[in-house]
Structure 1
Amino acid sequence: MAQTVLRSAVVIMIVTLVGRVVGLLRETLLADSFGTSFEVDAYRYAFAIPSMIFLFVPGALNAIFVPSIKSMLVNGNREEAQVLFRKMMTVTVSIYFVIMAIGMLFSREIIQLMTFMQNGSEAITPEQRAAQLEMGAKLLQWMWPSAVFIALIGVFQATLNAHQQFFIPQLSTVVNSLIVCTAYPLLVPFYGIYGVAMGTTLGFLFAALSMIYALKKERYSLAPDFRWNDTEMKKIGERFIPIMLGSLITQVYTFIYPVLASGLGEGRVAALGYANIVYQLPTAIFVAAFTLPIYPYLVEYFTKGEMGRMKQSITEGMQYLFILMVPVIVAMIVVPDEIVSLLFYTGPDGEFDLTSIDLTATALLYMGLGLFFFAARDLLTRAFYAMENTKLTVIAAVVGILANILSSLMFMTYLSHGGVALGTTTGSLVNMLVLSYFLRKHIGPFIQRTFWVTALKTVIGAAVMGAVLYMATAFVSFHGVWMQKMYILFLIAAGAGLFFAVLVLFREPLALRIIERFAGKIVKRKRG
């Protein structure tokens, strides 16, 4: 199991990394064109809707749909799988078409609700708020069709994953970002920030279209099928509501940023948005890469009653996530300004200035503290899905959101928008702890001794890396934006190399497997 999971994880990580690099280019274009301006704040309010849908719908549909279609494929019922695909596609698109229609009618009210905390704030005048509300509503209307395209993306990705195809679904994210990037030279000069909204919607459309060829090769038809009243669809429906509800509650974090930070002054909402982009980079690359291929094994082991192997899988997943997340956390703590500058700063002539760097770095520092909590929460949630116990994940998500909101309100008094970011970390920690408590009650102690051994080695390696990064940035600097960017890139690569070198000295087996797997991929590429 370990080698198969790692092999799939490496494929997912590589493609996701490329997608995130292109996605960061997209965000850099936004930063260079509009900075942390009024228009970006309005765009962030509006984009929170499709962003939330994209963050929870594909993942939720994967958890809901993969077990059903995979069991049919394993039993040789390919035709039944093809029929089920058409039914699932039809019902999902129908639901989100209705959501889109209602959302377009009430776009103004939705934006108004999201910005209500600006009432009475001295940071923004009534005239500015009215203009922001109008702009946000129009931007949201341009982006509402994304809901339907995202629904298609979710069904398509889940179906291909059931066939052990991970490359094409992950590649769709690259297509998405490339389409948005083309909006800057083609649409933004004529439509301004509205051109970004148009490009956003087109990006989701082309991401869905990019998977059609792979589906056709597996002989799936896109013809609608409204015969939903059968046993398998009822089983999917039973899983649908709690999983979608839990995922939706979890993604309320997307709304918390603009709502809580709206009264803290201009640029704070935008800074949290930029920091979240950086925060999502390691989570997208590493978390999905391991939870996605581990999930089917958790289902198999629980079904067979092999609890020992299930606990071992959970422990191993936590080890991988800890090894990959902790050095990233240290980097975000030690050099947040340098990371933000690397990704978004283009020079003194750009709109993303030193103030923007400082605001975004502050948010990134406090947000980054919760990276491992977020990753572990996702893995533990999958364990509950494998046990077909979805109610507890909803309870944990609700408790986490409440902890997020309450802690954000408390911290922002002292840390401004940094308090909102720290609230996110607190919410993820509480969510993880609640899931851990319930999982321990159901299957007993599930974290084995090997995790703590790996954790100790990882902390030592990350501490060495952090000390070197601090000294390298505190005492050495370069003039010129691009020379500085090259130096930061070199430091990040050298820091990662140093971290893994420490783990190799400690003979950490999982680190050795990661290095061997990546080295194997590079050798194969050179030979090809």
Structure 2
Amino acid sequence: MKSITPRQIAAIIGSVALINLIARLIGFLREVAIGVHYGTSAAADAIIAAYTIPNFIYLAAGGALTTAFISVYTNEPAHQKRKAASIILTYTGLAAALLSLLFFLLPDFFIRLFFSGMIEETQQLTGDLFKIMSLGTFFLTISMLFTGYLNANRYYKASALAPLFFNIVYVGGAVLFMPVIGIDAYAWSVLAAAILMYGYLFIELRKRNLNLQTLIFTGGSEGLIRRYLWRALPILIGGATIQLYFLLQRIFASGMGEGTIAALNYSSKLIQIPQSILITAVTTVLFPLISQMAAETKTRELQQMYSKGILYLCLLIIPSSVFVFLNAEALISVVFEYGAFGREASIITADLLKVFVVGMTAHALNVYLTRFFYAHHFNWLAVFIGAFNVFIVNIGVIFILLPMGGASAIAWGMTISGITQLIMLLIISKVKMGMKPDVGKNLIRILGLTVALGGIFILIQPFENPILQLGVSMSALAAVLLILVLWTDPSKRWADKLNKMLKK
């Protein structure tokens, strides 16, 4: 397989990021639609809670399986790669089918298990919606495996388009059919979107001559499935921390009264847009390369990628976090305050958003840094770090702050534990892998300009029109990001090009 030049990597990341931006924005319209239709009511809680389990399987379990697949697949001999992929598909498909069947047959059991704090009526509605959505679990899981297969063979754009099609069908179906069949439109749209995404990826594999056989149980290298599961399990526990946070949030929020799940969902989803776009683009393209570099012990190249990844994520997310924090109420008002979503719901959601956004940079970096642990096969070490912060620090903070903070205690749990996880990852990656961030000077520049940006946002606050406030703030953010891109050391060549153009 040919090596990829830095320019090609940048082009791929840019195109994948653009596709993910469109996909995430369309997906976010789903949250807006729920807000318009049901606000922060029990019905909104039911839709969000019902989708929580299939979505967790899709993003957390599916993501872990995909990452493990890439790690195992890239280390297989060339003549055994396709058979190895077919064997993994067979076992994963059977497990996903069994799980879908269990969810379909016992929906009320799983809803009572995870959302026991809900009143009986809301639990029943959630169970009815979950029963329909659960059938999509199989298609969602296998689709994630297909994307891993495409990414491992460097067909990044094909795999990036899959979530875009999924969100188009999900949002479009829910909006179009909600007036006809009511709240069930959200459940049936999930199932239809999952089936269509599976079909699209299946066709893409065939077009690229990456056909896979089914019901292949033997063959491949010795211990293939054992290695696959051994890598997937720690990634699921330790690497899927964001989804574990959301699952725990909804479990805790289910007993806090009507609308709490919805308010937490709306606020957390808003910060996921920039975070998910950047993380998906970077990890989709870079993780296969990181795995290959680690396998070939290219220490210098790994150190460069480690430092540059941290720098670029800080450059993009830290200023964006300040933008969201100081414009939280305007953002929520412009995005959500329609239909059943009133002013009171906006204030509650904005307050939660401010807490979540404090930890946005930490969570983005955590996802990136754990990829280096996986590439070096320190899977269980990443598990310990992730599990400790999700289940000990996060839950501990929630219990400590719950009597005083209510729903905000849940948000602070995620934020504080994300920061402690980042500190642990940075220290342990230096000790175990010799990796150092090496971004000191550029980080000072980023923080300095971000402080100045915050001052601009505070001056803009008196604007009564939230759309005008956001417009001016976004212009200031774009200007600061451009300055930072030109100012940081790895990007000086762009400044040189700009100077030459101006001289002409």
| CA distance, structure 1, for counterparts of residue 491 and residue 403 of structure 2 | 41
1:477 and 2:464 matched: yes
Query: Residues 353 and 514 of structure 1: is their aligned pair in 2 closer, same or farther, counting only changes over 3 Å?
Result: farther
Question: Corresponding residue for 2:110?
Answer: 110
Whether contact under 8 Å (2:86, 2:214) holds in the other structure is yes
Question: Corresponding residue for 2:369?
Answer: 380
Aligned pairs for 1:376-455 (under 5 A) are 376-401=365-390, 402-444=392-434, 446-448=436-438, 451-455=439-443
Which of 238, 246, 251 in structure 2 is aligned with 1:246? 238
| CA distance, structure 2, for counterparts of residue 228 and residue 276 of structure 1 | 43
Whether contact under 8 Å (1:64, 1:239) holds in the other structure is yes
1:314 and 2:306 matched: yes
Question: Corresponding residue for 2:34?
Answer: 30
Shift of 1:445: 5.0
Question: Corresponding residue for 1:467?
Answer: 455
Query: Residues 250 and 354 of structure 1: is their aligned pair in 2 closer, same or farther, counting only changes over 3 Å?
Result: closer
Whether contact under 8 Å (1:45, 1:114) holds in the other structure is no
Which of 21, 24, 28 in structure 2 is aligned with 1:20? 24
Question: How big is each residue's C-alpha offset from its partner over 1:307-329, in whole Å with a ceiling of 9 and x where there is no partner?
Answer: 33322221111001101110121
Query: Residues 229 and 84 of structure 1: is their aligned pair in 2 closer, same or farther, counting only changes over 3 Å?
Result: closer
Query: Residues 283 and 366 of structure 1: is their aligned pair in 2 closer, same or farther, counting only changes over 3 Å?
Result: same
Judge which range, 318-327 or 490-499, deviates more: 490-499
Question: Corresponding residue for 2:60?
Answer: 56
Where 2:138 maps in the other structure, the secondary structure is helix
Which of 269, 272, 279 in structure 2 is aligned with 1:277? 269
Whether contact under 8 Å (2:239, 2:367) holds in the other structure is no
Which of 162, 177, 180 in structure 2 is aligned with 1:187? 177
| CA distance, structure 2, for counterparts of residue 516 and residue 116 of structure 1 | 60
Which of 345, 366, 375 in structure 1 is aligned with 2:355? 366
Q: CA RMSD in A?
A: 2.4
Question: Corresponding residue for 2:500?
Answer: none
Shift of 1:215: 0.7
1:303 and 2:309 matched: no
Shift of 1:360: 1.2
Where 2:167 maps in the other structure, the secondary structure is helix
Unaligned runs of 5+ in 2: 498-504
Judge which range, 246-255 or 352-361, deviates more: 246-255
Question: Corresponding residue for 1:457?
Answer: 445
| CA distance, structure 2, for counterparts of residue 252 and residue 370 of structure 1 | 15
| CA distance, structure 1, for counterparts of residue 493 and residue 410 of structure 2 | 37
Shift of 1:425: 0.8
Matched AA of 2:356: M
Question: Corresponding residue for 1:124?
Answer: none
Question: Corresponding residue for 1:490?
Answer: 471
1:264 and 2:266 matched: no
Question: Corresponding residue for 1:332?
Answer: 324
Query: Residues 501 and 171 of structure 1: is their aligned pair in 2 closer, same or farther, counting only changes over 3 Å?
Result: closer
Shift of 1:155: 1.2
Whether contact under 8 Å (1:323, 1:511) holds in the other structure is no
Whether contact under 8 Å (2:104, 2:131) holds in the other structure is yes
Whether contact under 8 Å (1:461, 1:500) holds in the other structure is no
Judge which range, 298-307 or 309-318, deviates more: 298-307
Question: Corresponding residue for 2:96?
Answer: 96
Question: Corresponding residue for 1:163?
Answer: 153
Aligned pairs for 1:76-95 (under 5 A) are 76-77=78-79, 80-95=80-95
| CA distance, structure 2, for counterparts of residue 513 and residue 322 of structure 1 | 20
Whether contact under 8 Å (1:250, 1:397) holds in the other structure is no
Question: How big is each residue's C-alpha offset from its partner over 1:265-320, in whole Å with a ceiling of 9 and x where there is no partner?
Answer: 32221000111211211121111222332323333333333333322221111001
| CA distance, structure 1, for counterparts of residue 227 and residue 331 of structure 2 | 46
Matched AA of 2:305: S
Question: Corresponding residue for 1:503?
Answer: 484
| CA distance, structure 1, for counterparts of residue 87 and residue 191 of structure 2 | 25
Whether contact under 8 Å (2:33, 2:175) holds in the other structure is no
Question: Corresponding residue for 1:47?
Answer: 51
Judge which range, 176-185 or 320-329, deviates more: 176-185
Shift of 1:30: 1.5
Whether contact under 8 Å (1:464, 1:499) holds in the other structure is no
Query: Residues 359 and 291 of structure 1: is their aligned pair in 2 closer, same or farther, counting only changes over 3 Å?
Result: same
Unaligned runs of 5+ in 1: 119-128, 479-483, 518-528
Where 1:251 maps in the other structure, the secondary structure is helix
Whether contact under 8 Å (2:242, 2:363) holds in the other structure is no
Judge which range, 92-101 or 252-261, deviates more: 252-261
| CA distance, structure 2, for counterparts of residue 138 and residue 495 of structure 1 | 47
Whether contact under 8 Å (2:64, 2:240) holds in the other structure is no
| CA distance, structure 2, for counterparts of residue 362 and residue 237 of structure 1 | 41
Matched AA of 2:436: F
Shift of 1:366: 0.4
Shift of 1:248: 5.2
| CA distance, structure 2, for counterparts of residue 363 and residue 512 of structure 1 | 38
Where 2:458 maps in the other structure, the secondary structure is helix
Query: Residues 199 and 513 of structure 1: is their aligned pair in 2 closer, same or farther, counting only changes over 3 Å?
Result: farther
Judge which range, 201-210 or 358-367, deviates more: 201-210
| CA distance, structure 1, for counterparts of residue 154 and residue 343 of structure 2 | 45
Query: Residues 424 and 71 of structure 1: is their aligned pair in 2 closer, same or farther, counting only changes over 3 Å?
Result: same
Question: Corresponding residue for 1:141?
Answer: 131
Shift of 1:513: 7.2
Shift of 1:229: 5.4
Whether contact under 8 Å (1:64, 1:240) holds in the other structure is yes
Whether contact under 8 Å (1:153, 1:207) holds in the other structure is yes
Whether contact under 8 Å (1:373, 1:429) holds in the other structure is yes
Matched AA of 1:113: L
Query: Residues 142 and 269 of structure 1: is their aligned pair in 2 closer, same or farther, counting only changes over 3 Å?
Result: same
Using structure 1 for the length normalisation, give the TM-score: 0.87
Query: Residues 304 and 163 of structure 1: is their aligned pair in 2 closer, same or farther, counting only changes over 3 Å?
Result: closer
Question: How big is each residue's C-alpha offset from its partner over 1:432-470, in whole Å with a ceiling of 9 and x where there is no partner?
Answer: 22222322221235222xx11111111122222222222
Shift of 1:492: 4.5
| CA distance, structure 2, for counterparts of residue 219 and residue 62 of structure 1 | 20
| CA distance, structure 1, for counterparts of residue 106 and residue 495 of structure 2 | 51
Using structure 2 for the length normalisation, give the TM-score: 0.91
Shift of 1:141: 0.8
Question: Corresponding residue for 1:481?
Answer: none
Paired-residue identity, %: 20
Question: How big is each residue's C-alpha offset from its partner over 1:392-418, in whole Å with a ceiling of 9 and x where there is no partner?
Answer: 011111101121111122223322212
Where 2:144 maps in the other structure, the secondary structure is helix
Aligned residues: 490
